Amino acid sequence: MTRLGPALHQVRRRVDAALADLANDQPVLVACSGGPDSLALAAAAAATRRRVGAVVVDHGLQEGSAQVADRAANQCRDLGLDPVLVRRVRVTATGAGPEADARTARYDALTRVATECGAAALLLAHTADDQAETVLLGLARGSGVRSLAGMPHRRGLFRRPVLDLSRADLAAALAESGLTAWTDPHNADPRFTRVRVRSRVLPVLEAELGPGVCAALVRTARLARADADALDEWAGREFALLSAAGFPVDGLAALPLAVRSRVLRRCLIEAGAPPDRLTADHVAEVERLVAEWSGQGPVHVPRVIVSRRCGRLILAGDESMIGAHDGA
């Protein structure tokens, strides 16, 4: 094996650590856009003793995107990755915004390819800088501790081996690899919220509060994730008990708000509410049936109606309980 420079060796060590639970002959894929972070990750993964392939997703959102995808695929093949697959996707506008819509299309494609290839893991090149941006965006949304937890190192097939390394670390690794990355013009386009956070908000915070803001945000994500995981586990146990008892209001009211809100959210999802349409305001409305009861009527959330009856929460499809009222 060719001797690696220190920066590329550091990335390879992170890849090895992220895949330590897998046998060397289990297939792994790298998601590679041809940008500096993912290309550096691909080069590091190629230097391991594992079966590593790559997948390149072409969103078709920019002129020449097909050529960019083919170039990235050829770079991965030159690294010795196999198989290397290109998937062209159609980004459907859902109202969630272009960034979210592209992300949904990308993850759907990556999941399909990983399943088709029988991959045991799929590596993503998100860095500590990406994590800091994600935490700030979560803070701006005001959607609770889970949004401050940022991206996990691992979720299902997806693993993020360089989440604790900076973009500068990945840039140094790329320089050692001798590869030339593609520069995505969208990464400098201020129409995108994340770009504004990266190019305007974080630099101001670093200038006004001093260096180390990015590292502090990453540390916040790590601590918030530990808290959120513990609360989710607690809420899971309570959900099982309360579900078996028919969701008694007294049992729900006895829980701390942080646990109760999680139980209520899971109740709504289990009853048919789409997770991506269920907001904190929806959960808060249901919460009032428990903690601020004054005889009010049922609460309508997407695809579910919730009412309070005989000391219990009753959840049903939104066609069956319109007009239901409670005297408990």
**Tokens, residue 199:** 């190019």
CA distance 189 to 114: 31
Burial of 90 (0-12, 13-18, 19+ CB in 10 A): exposed
Percent with pLDDT over 90 in the chain: 79
Q: Give pLDDT, residue 318.
A: 65
Burial of 190: CB neighbours in 10 Å, binned 0-12, 13-18, 19+? exposed
244: Cα separation from own chain's centroid: 31
Strands of the chain (E only): list them.
28-31, 52-58, 84-88, 121-123, 154-155, 158-159, 299-301, 304-309, 312-317
What per-residue confidence (pLDDT) applies to 2? 55
- Tell me which DSSP letter residue 26 carries: S
Dihedral (Cα; 108, 109, 112, 114), 10-degree rounding: -110
Q: What is the pLDDT of residue 59?
A: 87
- Mean of the per-residue pLDDT values for the chain? 92
Interacting residues of 58 by C-beta distance below 8 A, sequence separation 6+: 65, 66, 68, 69, 86, 87, 88, 89
Confidence of residue 261 (pLDDT cuts 50, 70, 90): very high
The pTM (predicted TM-score) of the whole model is 0.86
Q: What is the pLDDT of residue 191?
A: 87
pLDDT score for 32? 97
Q: What's the pLDDT at 327?
A: 44
| Lowest-pLDDT range of 81-85, 94-98, 106-110, 323-327 | 323-327
Nearest to 160 by CA among 221, 84, 72, 211: 221
pLDDT of residue 102: 86
Residue 323: pLDDT above 50? no
**Where is pLDDT greater, at 96 or 238?**
238
Are residues 29 and 53 in contact, defined by beta-carbon separation less than 8 angstroms?
yes
Q: Is the pLDDT of residue 324 over 50?
A: no
| Per-residue model confidence as pLDDT tens digits over 137-194 | 999 887 688 889 999 999 999 999 999 999 999 999 999 999 999 988 888 889 889 9
pLDDT > 80? residue 61: no
pLDDT attached to residue 3 = 76
What's the pLDDT tens digit per position in 213-236?
A: 999 999 999 999 999 999 999 999
What CATH class does 6-130+152-194 carry? Answer: alpha beta
